Structure 1
Amino acid sequence: MTCSILMFDLRFFLMLERLRFRKSVFATLNVQHG
């Protein structure tokens, strides 16, 4: 039970990190092109 909750938390955290990383990459690309 606790293990599954932990796995869900980990997946959610990784998804947030990926979104943040993508956002920062897009920001740097916008800065370079702008």
Structure 2
Amino acid sequence: MNIIIDEETKKALLENLKKRNKSAVRLSIKGFG
């Protein structure tokens, strides 16, 4: 099964991941602080 992801979708997924990572980092900092 080949899944073809075009560049726009890749960019959107990357942005989504970055946002998630940022909020996860903030939560962990709050937890440790």
Q: Which runs of 5+ in 1 are unaligned?
A: 1-7
Between Structure 1 and Structure 2, the one with more helix by share is 1
- What's the RMSD between the two structures over aligned residues? 0.5
Structure 1 stretches of 4+ moved >3 Å: none
Structure 2 unaligned blocks of 5 or more: 1-5
Task: Tell me the number of residue pairs that the alignment of Structure 1 and Structure 2 aligns.
Answer: 27
Measured in 2, the distance between the counterparts of 1:9 and 1:26 equals 26
TM-score normalized by the length of structure 2: 0.74
State the TM-score, normalized to the length of structure 1: 0.73
